[in-house]
Amino acid sequence: MPPSPPPSEAVYNRPNYLTADRGVWSWLVTLDHKRIGVMYLVLTTIGFALGGLFALIIRLELLTPGPTIIDAQTYNRMFTLHGVVMIFLFMIPAIPGIFGNFLLPLMLGAQDVAFPRINLLTVYLYLLGAGIALWGMIHGGADTGWTFYTPYSTTTTTKVAPILLGAFILGLGSILTGINFIVTIHTLRAPGLTWMRLPLFVWAIYATSVIQVLATPVLGMTLLLVAIESVFGFGIFDPGRGGDPVLFQHLFWFYSHPAVYIMILPAMAVVSEVVQAFARKNMFGYKAVAYSSLGIAFVGFFTWGHHLFTSGQSAFNAGIFGILSMFVGLFTAIKVFNWTATLYKGAIQFSAPFVYFCGFLFFLVFGGMTGIALATVSLDVHWQDTYFVVAHFHFIMVGGTIMAFLAAVHYWWPKMFGRMYSERWALVAAGLIILGFNATFIPQFLLGNMGMPRRYYSFPERFWPLNVASTAGASLLAFGFLIVLVYLVVSLAWGRVAGPNPWDSRGYEWDTPSPPNKENFPGTPVITHGPHEYQDTEDGGAGSEVTHAA
Amino acid sequence: MAHGTSAAGNEEAHHGAARYVVVWLALVVLTGATFVAWRVKLPEPWHLLVALFIAGAKALLVVLFFMHLWDHRGPSRLVLATSLVFVALLIGLVVADNATRFPLANPPRDGNYVRTGILPEPAPALPSLPEPPRVPGR
Amino acid sequence: MQPETQAVHLAHHFPSLRTQEQAARLGMWLFLATEVLLFGALFTAYSLYRYLFPHAFEGASALMHTSWGTANTLVLITSSLTVALGIHEVSRGRNRRATLYLLATLAFAVAFLVIKYFEYSHHIHEGQLPGRFYSFAELQVAGASMFFTLYFLMTGLHGLHVLIGMGVLAFLTVQVWRGRYGPGYYTPVELGGLYWHLVDLIWIFLFPLLYLI
């Protein structure tokens, strides 16, 4: 065996997708799904930082009952922009855009996604939408809340229109990504890769894409109607002209509730992969987990009215939506039981991705149960528009999706960049993040239950201590994220060379070099077994068997 | 080039153009039918249901034959069907909301007040309304 | 088209041209599904307000020119026929005839927009306008202006799609005329046709809901 070359050369001596073409222009016109995934990583990280900045301003303002650092008008803008940026610039695009793009073709044995040029287009749509929204933010930004409820959104003179237009364009990118992934999964599976051999990551991304395709157009139309209304005043939501403002809420939440499943399903996709890799065991109940993704996608469309419980919706509808909202929890429960059962008698590797999975599991379950509680109309009447709801969705979105996002980043970092990060710092950061998360959001459940309304600039003194605790937690959380960013960036230049499969994972994507070549596979792979089959190897775990047809 | 199956694999390459003309004739007839049904002025809800039924029939012809879903097996049929089901879901639950609300929670309409007995005579037609107040951003 | 020229159209990441075309078709249908949902939001608003204001909508619909609406319906249906025939001719390699059919489709599209122009002019002249612009004295009931709000929004969005469809068809017509597509590969024309048929489909529902209440 020849002596191993120095680390930098080992990674970059052969042309991989990062080094094959040089220059900024090659990145700007790339059709390589792997490069597009990396671009999404950079862009969504910036989006996350921006949304996080708004969050910190909110938390700083809430350090004292009265004015602290900003005035009330600015506060309204801050929570609006925090929501808009976090949801449209991070939560919805991140995991599909980064890991969906990077991994789908590798997991399917394909050379690229079905429509590579449309894939590149979505990156530019992201930039365009984000740019227009940013322009609006710089010129004051909207103060309507990210939910843009009428009649305020149609009569305010703040810069709602650019935010709406930005969101519209970002939504178009989301739709195109969804279409691309669905077609890729249907048509570009390698020979031998039947639906029942697909990695569970693919199943959940497929379900996410279905939601993106069906739900986002309704949001687009609704935002367009708000824009038209605020400019022309046609009265489509104005009772004075026969309109119903609650119609806006129906149309808005018809998208926005499935949107939260767009945000959590990719996280569940990641978790399914991480659980199998770090317990070194096949998923317990593969079919149940696969089908439950579709269940979430479809049944999630039947629940939007739980956002309208206190808006004047009929009691009849409230009853229907309440029951269906509880029903949709069943599918998540199925996944949680199966993930846990997979751990049983597994050979658990307690490194950073697994730590994040543990956080994910506890926070998803806790947050999910508060969701079921909120689905009870008689309880929601008290909790609606309080910090209880805020804590609930942050438990799912931060405690769920962002934990899974971090697990994904750590699990696939060596695959994408060929480097390992510092495990010690990773565990420190994970601990800080989990601690900081608890400190930030558990007080908010208590505050909400005590009656503190959301989106309020000031609060009575009895809420003061818990708000201080929450802000302290948010600072810890931010610090933890910062540490992650630092050691990951450092690892790009100084990290240990990872080798093709540092986790010894049996996922299909680990059969390629790390980082992968520009061309994914020399020929067409033929898949002869399912993903993550740890129990049946005679070769002592050298890797999954994938033969390559010329 | 092999006959019968082009590289496109389009099964409809087997049939001629006559099929399209026949479908077009059916569409024209159905358009006439819906016009006639309108003139007949059936009582509600039949009036609306007949119109939707005829429109649905026309749409089905276009989708199956002009858009070739009759020939193409595969997920495309499911895609279209799913989108229609979800539109029906949206419309159904939205209308159900307003239909089952306390009547005064709906936008004000003529006759609304008379039904609930609040006003003894029909409400007058609404006057033209002033501009909604432009709320300056706070 | 010879197999060699077919290879020009095959993208490197697809195993075969057939797979590529199936992928393109599925992708187009998914896009059409998004259009259905886009208009679905407007149909939802329509359904709600027709439920709330049945008599106002009936009265307002009586102000529509049903004959022009019927004419437009026949125009679009026939344009769907011509585009289908055009694609058929391309699949048979008769690009000259195909070009004529596609041009006929474009002509019908123009006719549609011309009729719409006259309709819009009439409504504007009569003050039958959306929301606060509504000033038609003979029908002053709650919900009348809402009908016209929905009329202009729905036919306006539909008209925008007609324009986009015309752009797409015009581009494809030029390509067909130049012989870029033939029996071995005509997927783009097929996809353009699908888009045009969707435009027809939406009008098939708009017509009875707006003109025939």
Instruction: Tell me the chain A residues in contact with residue B132 when contact means C-beta distances shorter than 8 Å.
Output: 151, 154-155, 233, 238, 240
Mutate to test the interface with A, among C34, C43, C146, C148 (most CBs of A within 10 A): C34
B87 → closest Cβ in C40, C190, C207: C40
Domain boundaries, chain A: 36-536
Task: Report the C-alpha gap between A59 and B21 in whole angstroms.
Answer: 67
Mutate to test the interface with A, among B73, B76, B93, B126 (most CBs of A within 10 A): B93
pLDDT of residue A128: 98
C66 in B contact zone (CB under 8 Å): yes
Averaged pLDDT for residues B54-68? 96
Could you confirm whether domain C24-211 is CATH 1.10.760.10?
no
More confident residue, A502 or A12: A502
Reported as a pLDDT band with limits 50, 70 and 90, residue A11 is very low
B90 in C contact zone (CB under 8 Å): yes
B127 in A contact zone (CB under 8 Å): no
B96 in C contact zone (CB under 8 Å): no
Reported as a pLDDT band with limits 50, 70 and 90, residue A150 is very high
Please, what is the average pLDDT of chain A?
Answer: 93
Return the structure tokens found at B132: 């909604």
A234 in C contact zone (CB under 8 Å): yes
Q: What is the SS3 assignment for A397?
A: helix
B138 → closest Cβ in A73, A313, A317: A73
pLDDT of residue A56: 97
Of chain A, the percentage scoring pLDDT greater than 70 comes to 95
Of chain A, the percentage scoring pLDDT greater than 90 comes to 88
Domain boundaries, chain B: 8-73, 74-123
- Return phi, psi of residue C62, to 5°: -65, -20
Reported as a pLDDT band with limits 50, 70 and 90, residue A542 is very low
**Confidence check: pLDDT of B131 > 90:** no
Reported as a pLDDT band with limits 50, 70 and 90, residue A545 is very low
Quick check: A181 and A270 in contact, CB under 8 A?
A: no
C-alpha distance from residue B94 to each of A378, A425, C208 (Å): 21, 51, 21
A247 in C contact zone (CB under 8 Å): yes
Measure A523 CA to nearest chain C CA, in Å. Answer: 10
CB-based contact B8 C185, cutoff 8 Å: yes
C84 → closest Cβ in B28, B54, B66: B66
Nearest CA in chain C to B127: C140
Say yes or no: ipTM exceeds 0.90.
yes
CB-based contact A241 C131, cutoff 8 Å: yes
Residues forming beta bridges with residue A526, ordered by sequence position: A547
Interface of A with C in 84-113 (CB under 8 A): 105, 110-113
Residues forming beta bridges with residue C71, ordered by sequence position: none
What count of CB pairs under 8 Å joins B to C? 166
**Confidence check: pLDDT of A12 > 60:** no
Tokens 């995991």 found at: A95
Subunits with at least 3 CB pairs below 8 A relative to chain C? A, B
Instruction: Tell me the chain B residues in contact with residue A247 when contact means C-beta distances shorter than 8 Å.
Output: 94
**Confidence check: pLDDT of A530 > 60:** yes
C74 → closest Cβ in B1, B31, B83: B31
Measure B21 CA to nearest chain A CA, in Å. Answer: 32
Residue B115 CA from chain centroid, whole number: 30
Task: Report the C-alpha gap between B34 and C78 in whole angstroms.
Answer: 17
C20 in B contact zone (CB under 8 Å): no
Look up the CATH number of domain A36-536. Answer: 1.20.210.10
Interface of C with B in 33-62 (CB under 8 A): 33-34, 36-37, 40-41, 43-44, 47-48, 51-56
A242 → closest Cβ in C31, C41, C143: C143
| Per-residue pLDDT reduced to its tens digit, A182-205 | 999 999 999 999 999 999 999 999
User: Measured at the alpha carbon of residue C73, what is the angle toward residues C70 and C79, in degrees to the nearest 5?
Assistant: 145
pLDDT of residue A9: 45
Instruction: Tell me the chain C residues in contact with residue B58 when contact means C-beta distances shorter than 8 Å.
Output: 77, 204
A215 in C contact zone (CB under 8 Å): yes
pLDDT of residue A522: 87
| pTM for the model | 0.92
Please, what is the average pLDDT of chain B?
Answer: 81
**Confidence check: pLDDT of A288 > 90:** yes
Residues of chain C with pLDDT below 50 are 1, 4
Q: Is B16 exposed, middle or buried (0-12, 13-18, 19+ CB in 10 A)?
A: exposed
Quick check: A167 and A204 in contact, CB under 8 A?
A: no
Subunits with at least 3 CB pairs below 8 A relative to chain A? B, C
Averaged pLDDT for residues A99-108? 97
Q: Which segment of A10-24, A402-416, C192-206 scores lowest on mean pLDDT?
A: A10-24
A186 → closest Cβ in C15, C26, C34: C26
Instruction: Give the other-Cβ count within 10 Å of C30's Cβ.
Output: 26
A373 in B contact zone (CB under 8 Å): no
Quick check: A145 and A127 in contact, CB under 8 A?
A: no
Measure C213 CA to nearest chain A CA, in Å. Answer: 19
CB-based contact C17 B8, cutoff 8 Å: yes
**Confidence check: pLDDT of B8 > 60:** no
Instruction: Give the other-Cβ count within 10 Å of C171's Cβ.
Output: 12
Closest CA to C90 of C23, C4, C172: C172
A238 in C contact zone (CB under 8 Å): yes
More confident residue, C88 or B117: C88
Closest CA to A183 of A262, A120, A104: A104
Quick check: B34 and B51 in contact, CB under 8 A?
A: yes
A241 → closest Cβ in C14, C40, C132: C132
Quick check: A207 and C105 in contact, CB under 8 A?
A: no
Nearest CA in chain B to C194: B67
Task: Report the C-alpha gap between B62 and B28 in whole angstroms.
Answer: 12
Nearest CA in chain C to A33: C13
CB-based contact C142 A242, cutoff 8 Å: yes
Quick check: B79 and B73 in contact, CB under 8 A?
A: no
Helices (H), ranges, A398-540: 403-417, 423-450, 464-494
A225 in C contact zone (CB under 8 Å): yes
| Per-residue pLDDT reduced to its tens digit, B30-44 | 999 999 999 998 888
Averaged pLDDT for residues A298-311? 96
Interface of B with C in 113-132 (CB under 8 A): 125-126, 128-129, 131
